[in-house]
A and B are shown apart, each in its own frame.
Chain A
């Protein structure tokens, strides 16, 4: 019975976050034309650390918890945190997309997937000790290499100026990036056909 509440909570919170995110984006969008203040005040720093702890903490929770439903909840906080991080970086469009696609779409899909496929929603997911040790070691090594390299890397600062307005974004998608944009449609079409075929019940 508890399982139902999980889903309701997730749906409610995600729709609330979606609404808030959309509002912020629209409000910021109109203000975007005005002068842009680089984000580096104390409030931003505090907000960043709160978000970072939230994202990493919930990501760890996903990896360490045994229950599939808890993993989905962890996923919610992780995705939501990344979306808020995008807002903090003034990438409003990306933030909204993150909310709509990941929080609103994929997460709900995951929850429904769990609900529809497993006999019990509280399936425990057991990993053998040996595998846990080896994957832990590999992940740790990967983390150390990536962390070291990315921390010391001299990043290029000549990228596009943020925030990019929706107009520019739309124009970019239909001029410079017309081919990838259209190709994405073909990819989705083909994948949809494949998925529908695989999911369809074969008639005897």
Chain B
């Protein structure tokens, strides 16, 4: 028999130290909030109010924890919670940003929920357990480089979402949408796991930071690598990409999106439209970033490795098609939820274009800054647009376009906020959406200037062309609100909802005008020293198994890239 406890006491067996755990405090706080929501109702009852208090306590604790960690990782990413399995969990400035982003969004969705359905909701604790569960999954998706944990995080983000879509049990379209979502999501997850297991079979490790240099090496010596191995790698990467593309709802995997968005409760739709896509996108960017870092480290840049261009090309084509399809399909929609669903597909396409240029090397910093700005603006725009739709649904019972008729007269404050959000979704100056698009085009242009590839210019033109296309269907809603008029009675919308929408609109207005410079200065705070950016961070230090707890404190967390 082995005396395990003795070995732990002597420090021969690894266990996480307090400092190490403190880096992942925000995640732990989220889990604690989940448990609180499970146990709390036994004492405080299942009412919406009590649940709300618990959620707010959890959110505040998570913000505090995130703030405490924030200053620890300013100078470089930290990885830990595993002695030898590589970058199991990691924290860097961007993952800090992403947690703030999710918390802010959760706050918005909570306000929406309070205004819309809190009064009639009888299952508030379950709703928030599922919501927080998917949030934990999303935040882990952006904080890991281990393929196993990545798959599990995607599952943790997806599985509660399926249940959330079917949350309103009296709603048959919701149940149907949930079934479609489950089947589609399950298949994509299976394909993804297949790809990941193939990668494991080829490389013998699940740590992507160890896989990436080998991938780059293979790409650079294409002539010596047998074709059979390339085919296997291509298959594995394609299968892995399918799972991520499902989360982003990029084109061949977008079918679930309109049905689910239309069928689900509007709070859930809002949540999925931003958070789920953002998490998938950031995960993809992280993987590509590590790949780019490895290519950089090996001395060959982007242009030396032909295969990297193939990866980039695939991402670019998917992004371009996603944009076009989202914008074209949005035209014919009569349901505003469905219209916004296609609009979110188009926006996923715009953001996916950034994935195409991460690998080009010199513009990575700009790419990450663009992601931060675009995500924040996209959050505000979508929260406003979906929030206004929620209020209209709450008053008229349906989200058909005709219910928006004359909204400019029937509910002027609501209509004004919605109009600003919609104009911002198009990207009209001087709104926040314009700033986001501007950064996107700027990043694409920079990449095109440096690489001198015609297709990067084409991508830039394509993004602008699609912006033009999108103008018309957003304008349809605005036209219906202001220019079509009949004698419908005025709407009495709840004040809280109008305030939420107008706060979003105001922030969009400000960020497009007065706040442009502060934003530009602030954004660097979250995009410096990102994991995988510099070649040094790719080096994996193997931890010796038999070291004492005190030594481990300093060693198991590697601080990387301190310059």
Contact = CB atoms under 8 A, between A and B. Distances in A.
Interface of A: 145-146, 148-150, 152-156, 158-159, 167, 171, 175-180, 183-184, 186-187, 189-191, 193-195, 197-198, 202
B235 A149 contact: yes
Contact of A152 (B160, B164, B204, B228): B228
Please name the 6 residue pairs, one residue from A and one from B, whose CB atoms are nearest each other, closest first. Answer: A194-B163, A190-B133, A176-B85, A152-B228, A153-B232, A197-B126
B126 A177 contact: no
Interface string B144-163: 00101100110110011011
A177 B85 contact: yes
Contact of A193 (B89, B129, B170): B129
A202 B167 CA distance: 12
Contacts of A183: 140, 149, 152-153, 156
A193 B13 CA distance: 35
6 contacts: A154-B232, A171-B13, A178-B88, A186-B34, A187-B156, A191-B160
Contact of B89 (A148, A179, A197): A179
A203 B242 CA distance: 41
A153 B202 CA distance: 9
Nearest to A185: B31
A199 to B, nearest CB: 10
Contacts of A156: 201-204
Given A175-B82, A179-B81, 12 more contacts: A153-B229, A154-B226, A159-B201, A176-B85, A177-B148, A178-B16, A180-B146, A180-B149, A187-B152, A193-B133, A194-B159, A202-B169
Contacts of A179: 81-82, 88-89, 149
A13 to B, nearest CB: 27
A152 B231 contact: yes
A83 B130 CA distance: 34
Given A155-B201, A183-B152, A190-B156, A150 B129 contact: no
A183 B74 CA distance: 27
Contacts of B170: 202
Contacts of A178: 16, 81-82, 88
Interface string B128-142: 011001001000100
B81 A184 contact: no
B156 A150 contact: no
A187 B159 contact: yes
Contacts of A194: 126, 129-130, 159-160, 162-164
Contacts of B109: none
A181 B359 CA distance: 33
B413 to A, nearest CB: 36
A150 B458 CA distance: 37
B251 interface: no
A94 B13 CA distance: 25
B351 to A, nearest CB: 27
A183 B232 CA distance: 30
Interface in B99-142: 123, 126, 129-130, 133, 136, 140
B53 interface: no
Contacts of A175: 13-15, 82-84
Contacts of A171: 13
The A interface, classified by DSSP as helix, strand, loop or mixed, is helix
B38 interface: yes
Contacts of B149: 179-180, 183
B223 interface: no
Contacts of B169: 198, 202
A171 B140 CA distance: 23
Contacts of B13: 171, 175
B83 A176 contact: yes
B166 interface: yes
Contacts of A153: 201-202, 228-229, 231-232
A159 B2 CA distance: 26
A19 to B, nearest CB: 26
Nearest to A184: B152
Contacts of B201: 153, 155-156, 159
A190 B228 contact: no
Contacts of B226: 154
Contacts of A154: 226, 228-229, 232
Nearest to B148: A180
Nearest to A149: B231
A150 B232 contact: yes
Contacts of A180: 88, 146, 148-149, 152
B204 A186 contact: no
A204 to B, nearest CB: 11
Interface in B193-237: 201-204, 226, 228-229, 231-232, 235
A155 B202 contact: yes
Contact of B204 (A158, A189, A191, A195): A158
